[in-house]
Amino acid sequence: MREYAISLDAKKMPDAWYNVLPDMPSTPTPVLHPATQQPVGPEDLAAIFPMGLIEQEMTTAPTISIPGEVMDRYLMYRPTPLRRAYRLEEALKTPAKIYYKNESVTPSGSHKINTAIAQAYYNLQEGVHSLSTETGAGQWGTALSIACSMYEMACKVYMVRVSFEQKPYRKSFMEAYGASVIASPSDTTEIGRRMQKENPGTTGSLGMAISEAVEVAVTSGGKIKYSLGSVLNHVCLHQTIIGEEAKLQLDSVGEYPDVVIGCVGGGSNFAGIAFPFVQDKLKKNLKTRLVGVEPAACPTLTRGPYVYDYGDTGKMTPLMKQYTLGHNFVPPGIHAGGLRYHGVARTVAQLVHEGVIEAISLYQNPCFKASLIFAKCEGILPAPESSHAICAAMDEAVRCRESGEKKTILFNLSGHGHFDLTAYDAYLRGDLQDYDLDEEILEKGRASIPDVKEPA
C-alpha cells in the first residue's frame, strides 16, 4: 500500500528556527542606512520593527528557539504533510521520486503564516497593537490579517493595485479577519500621492506598497510597526520550519533529496525549504542542487545585477546587496504568475552569487500548464507562484526519464490557488502572454539603482 503522506509526530516537531548567517561561505554582506550608507544598528530599525525581531535580524546564533505561544499557534496546522507525488511520477513516466512539502494546508493557504504569527507575537510582546504591511498577490496580507486577529491586533494592508483589481476575494478574505485593505499606490500617504503623480495610471508594485506601509509606521509615533512578508533575515529564519520538518520526514523513509526546488519572489518560501539543506551542503560537502525558480517577467536573480539597492520605491528602507531590477521597476500588468518583487533576500542573493544556489527563470504559460497537470494528478490547485516550482520539478523529472537517473526531487508547494482563479481563467482562455523583458525596460530599472560605496 502506497504511503502518499509522510506525517511527523507533533512531539518531534522542530522547536527552533535555523539561522543561515553563521554558515554562509563568506561574511554576510552588511545592511546599510539609506541616508548615510553606513551599516545599520538596532537603533536605526527601531522605528519600524520591535527589538525582538531586530535581534533576530542581526544575530549570528545558529538557531533561535521558537517561543511556546508561537509553537502553540503552529500546532494548529503544523507539522504540514510531506507528500510523495506518485500519480505525477506515473504521468511523467519518470524513474525519479517526487516529494512536495504541502504548505497549502495552513489557515491562510500558504507558507506566509509561519512568519506572520511570529511577527505578530514579537510585536505584541513589546506593546504594539497595530501593524502595517504590503501585499502583492495577497498571500502575505491574508496571513498577517489572520495572525493579527489571533492576537486582537489592527492590520492595515497596502495591496498592489493590479492584484487588488484582479483578486477581489483576497481583499474580502483579509477584511473578514478585520484588516483594512488599500489599493497601492493610494491617496492615504504622501509617498502614494507622489507615486501616482509621477506614474499616472500605474498598476503599482511591491516596492510602492512597501513604501506606503513603511511611511504609516514611521509617522505613527511608535503606535504602528511595519511587518514584512519576505526578504529580511528574520522572515527567512521563521520559514525554515518548513525545511527542518521536511528533513525529518524524508529521513523517516530513508530519503534525502538530490534536488530541492522553490519559487522565488522575495525569497522567503525558497529559503524556508532550502536553507536547512544549505547547512548540510556546506558542512557535509553534499552535491544536493538547490534551485530557485522565478518568472521570466520579473527575472531578478537571472538578469539583475548584484548590487546594493533599496527594498522599496520610496527609498525608505535600508540598502541591501541583492540581485535587483531597480527599485523603480514595475512588472508588466499582464503577468499573472505572481513573484513580482524587484529584489530578493540578501542571504539568497549571496548564496546564488557564491554558487551554492542555482537560479532559473520560466515563462508563465508552461508554469500554468504544469500546475494543471499537477492538480489533476495530486488533487490540489496550486497558487500561481507555486506553479514555478512545480514546472521546474517536472522538468527535472522528465530529464530523469530521458537519462534514466533515479533522483529524489523535493519542492515546496508554497500555497493553494483557490483565490487566484482569475489567473487560471486567463490561462484557460488563452489570454496569458509569455513576456520577455526587453533591454530598454531593464535599463530603465537599472538606472534607478543608487551608486553605493561598499563598506571595506
Q: Looking at the chain, how many residues does it have? A: 456
CA distances from 187 to 7, 40, 161, 327 (A): 48, 31, 12, 21
Taking phi over 0 as left and psi of -120 to 50 as alpha, with beta for the rest, 152 belongs to left
Q: How confident is the model at residue 24 (pLDDT cuts 50, 70, 90)?
A: very high
Give yes or no on whether 5-9+78-109+239-446 and 17-66+111-226 have one common fold: yes
Question: What is the model's pTM?
Answer: 0.95
Task: Note whether 298 and 331 are within 8 A (CB).
Answer: yes
Q: Is 240 helix (H, G, I), strand (E, B) or coil?
A: coil
CA–CA gap between residue 322 and residue 347 (Å, rounded): 8
User: Within 10 A of 365 (CB to CB), how many other CB atoms are there?
Assistant: 17
pLDDT (mean) for 420-424: 89
- List the 225-226 sheet strands across, edge first: 180-184, 154-160, 130-135, 225-226
pLDDT (mean) for 205-233: 93
Task: Note whether 412 and 273 are within 8 A (CB).
Answer: yes
Task: Note whether 133 and 226 are within 8 A (CB).
Answer: yes
Report whether pLDDT(331) > 80: no
What is the pLDDT at residue 334?
Answer: 59
43-91 tens-digit pLDDT: 999 989 999 999 999 999 999 999 999 999 999 999 999 999 999 999 9
Residue 66 pairs in a beta bridge with none
149-197 tens-digit pLDDT: 999 999 999 999 988 988 888 899 999 999 999 999 999 999 999 999 9
pLDDT (mean) for 240-257: 97
Task: Note whether 78 and 245 are within 8 A (CB).
Answer: yes
What is the pLDDT at residue 168?
Answer: 86
What is the pLDDT at residue 333?
Answer: 65
Question: Which of 298-307, 372-381, 435-444 comes out lowest in average pLDDT?
Answer: 435-444
Q: How confident is the model at residue 302 (pLDDT cuts 50, 70, 90)?
A: very high
Is CATH 3.40.50.970 what the domain over 17-66+111-226 is classified as, yes or no? Answer: no
Q: How confident is the model at residue 21 (pLDDT cuts 50, 70, 90)?
A: very high
What's domain 5-9+78-109+239-446's architecture? 3-Layer(aba) Sandwich (3.40)
* Domain extents in the chain: 5-9+78-109+239-446, 17-66+111-226
DSSP 307-323: EEEESSTTS-SPEEEEE
CA–CA gap between residue 232 and residue 298 (Å, rounded): 19
Q: How confident is the model at residue 336 (pLDDT cuts 50, 70, 90)?
A: low
